[in-house]
A and B are shown apart, each in its own frame.
Chain A
Amino acid sequence: MADLFDRFESLRARRDALVGDGGHDPFQVQMDEVLSQTEAMINGRKTILAGTNNYLGLTFAPEALQAAHDALEAAGTGTTGSRVANGTYAGHKALENRLCSFFEKEQAIVFSTGYLANLSVLSTLVGSDDYILMDADCHASIYDGVRMGDAQIIRFKHNDAADLDKRLARLAKKPGNKLIVIEGVYSMLGDKAPLSDIVEVKNKYDDVYLLSDEAHSVGVLGRYGRGLPEETNLEDDVDFIVGTFSKSVGTVGGFCVSNHPQFDLLRLACRPYIFTASLPPSVVASARVSLDLVEKGGALRKRLMRNAERLHSGLSALGFTLGGDVSPVVAVVASDVEVGVAFWRGLMDAGIYVNLALPPATPHNYTLLRCSLCAAHTSAQVDRIVEIFAEVAADLDVLPPISKKKTALA
C-alpha cells in the first residue's frame, strides 16, 4: 500500500539535495537565545540578524514591552476564541481606532495575522462576476486569498502599468467589479510599485478598486510611516490597505483599513476572521503602542535608510548582483541554488543570518540571499555584514572581479 507521504517524494528529494550532508539547514534555523533586535545565539554562535523584517527594531521598545506586560496582567494570556463567536475585547476596538487615526481612514479591521488579512479580504471582497487583477509577483498570501474566492483571477506583469492597462481595457465591456491588487514594496527584492502609474490606469476605467498590501512599507515609507501611498501622496486613491504587525510594528497580527462605509460587513463575511481566535491582549496592546512609535519614527526611518544605503553600496561595490534599488530589503542574487545554499551556510558559519529565498517563491526564479535591515543595526554591524559577504565569496570563488561594479538587474 502506498504511504500517505509518498506524494511528498519530490519535495523530500529536493530538501535532501539542499540540506545534504548536514551543516546549517536553511529551513530549520533555531535562535536559541535572542539577545537584541539585531543579535541572537544560533548554534552556540553570536549571530548578527540581517533577515528579520524587524525594520524599525521595535520588538524590544520599552513602551511596547510595558504595554504588553500591563495587558497581560490585566486581561490574561489569551482570548480563547474568535471575536464573532466569543467576544471582542476593548483592546481590539482600541487598536482598530488607533489604526483609523494612524492611516486617517474611517474603517479598520484587525485580523490574527497578515496572511489571514489577505485571505479574508481577497476571498470575500469580490465574487464570481468580478475580476482580480494582481501583480504577478504578489506574496503567497495574496495568491492563496484570491484562490479561496470565486472571482476570475488575472495576473499582470510585475510593476507594469501598461500591461495592467491592456488587461483592463479587454475587460472594460464586461460587467463586474475589478480589484487591482499590488504591494507597496515587494518582499523579495524590495522594489516599489509604480503607484502613480497604476492609479492613473485605474482611473481610466469604471468599477475598478485598488488594494495595496503595505506589509513591507508601513513604518518604512512616508513621513509618518503610512507606506507607499503616503510617500507618493496617493492615499485617497488606494481603496483598501492591508498590512501586518509582524514587521515594522514588531509583533504579530494583520489589518485592513478603508473608507468604504460598508466595510464593517466584512466581519460577517470573512471566514478567516470568524473561525479563528483573536489576538491576545498583550499583542494587541503592544501593537497599539508601537503604532505611536511608528508614527513618530522619522529618526528610525532615517537610520534604517542610512543602513540600507550602506549595505547596498557596500555589496554592489564588491561586485554582487543586487535585485533592486536601495531599500531596507537588499537581495543578493546567487547564480544557482547550490551556490546560494553554500553561500548562506558560509554566512551562518561566520555569524551572519540572512534569508535564503528559493524558487518558486522568488521572482525570475532567482536564488536570493535576502538581507533585511533594521534601524537598530549599527554601522559597524552593517560593515561586518559586507566584510563577511566578501570573505564567503572569496572562499567560494563566486564573485566577479572585485573592482568591477555590476549594476542591478531588473
Chain B
Amino acid sequence: MSAAPGSSGSSDARAAVLEVLGPFNKTAVTLEDGTRFTEDLNFDSLLVMEFIAALEDRLDISVPLNVLPDIETVGQLVVAAQEIVREEHG
C-alpha cells in the first residue's frame, strides 16, 4: 500500500494541489485550472519552493526543479504532479 493517493488518477492529484495551495493563496482569487501562479497568486520564487515542498510531502513525490519553469498554471501543475505520482508510485 502506498501512502500516496496517486493510483486513481487526476482527481486525487487535483484535490491534493488545491488542498496544499489553500494556505498559500493570499489573494481572493478562486482557484481554477487556468489560475496562474505568478500573475494571479503573486507567487515569487521563494513561495514556489515552499509550496512545492509542501506538495511533495502531501503526495510523497519528488518534483524535479527542472519541471518548474514550464508550469505556469494550477492545471499544468496538476498534470505534472499526476505524472510524477504515476511514475513514482504507479
**Residues of A near any B CB (own CB < 8 A):** 136, 146-147, 152-155, 157, 166-167, 170-171, 359-360, 365
Contacts and interface: CB of A to CB of B under 8 A. Distances in A.
23 contacts: A146-B65, A147-B65, A152-B64, A152-B66, A153-B64, A153-B65, A153-B66, A154-B63, A154-B64, A155-B53, A155-B65, A157-B53, A166-B60, A167-B62, A170-B61, A170-B62, A170-B88, A170-B89, A171-B62, A359-B46, A360-B45, A360-B46, A365-B46
Contacts of B62: 154, 167, 170-171
Contacts of B45: 360
Nearest to A168: B62
Contacts of A360: 45-46
B28 to A, nearest CB: 22
Given A166-B60, A170-B88, A359-B46, A136 B53 contact: yes
Nearest to B64: A152
Contacts of B64: 152-154
Interface string B43-66: 001100100010000001111111
Given A136-B49, A166-B60, A170-B61, 18 more contacts: A136-B53, A146-B65, A147-B65, A152-B64, A152-B66, A153-B64, A153-B66, A154-B62, A154-B63, A154-B64, A155-B53, A157-B53, A170-B62, A170-B88, A170-B89, A359-B46, A360-B46, A365-B46
Contacts of A146: 65
Contacts, number: 27
Nearest to B44: A360
B4 to A, nearest CB: 10
Contacts of B61: 170
A136 B54 CA distance: 13
Nearest to A169: B88
A363 B62 CA distance: 20
A154 B65 CA distance: 6
B58 to A, nearest CB: 13
Contacts of B66: 152-153
A79 to B, nearest CB: 36
A166 B61 CA distance: 9
Contacts of A136: 49, 53
A327 B58 CA distance: 35
Contacts of B89: 170
Nearest to A150: B66
A153 B45 CA distance: 16
- 4 closest pairs, A vs B, by CB? A153-B65, A152-B64, A170-B88, A154-B62
B21 to A, nearest CB: 19
B50 to A, nearest CB: 9
Contacts of A166: 60
Nearest to B52: A155
A167 B89 CA distance: 12
Nearest to A360: B46
A24 B65 CA distance: 37
A282 to B, nearest CB: 39
Contacts of B65: 146-147, 153-155
Interface in B4-51: 45-46, 49
Contacts of A365: 46
Contacts of B46: 359-360, 365
A167 B53 CA distance: 13
Contacts of A157: 53
A157 B52 CA distance: 12
A166 B45 CA distance: 25
A136 B49 CA distance: 10
A189 to B, nearest CB: 17
Nearest to B65: A153
A157 B46 CA distance: 15
Contacts of A147: 65
A337 B22 CA distance: 26
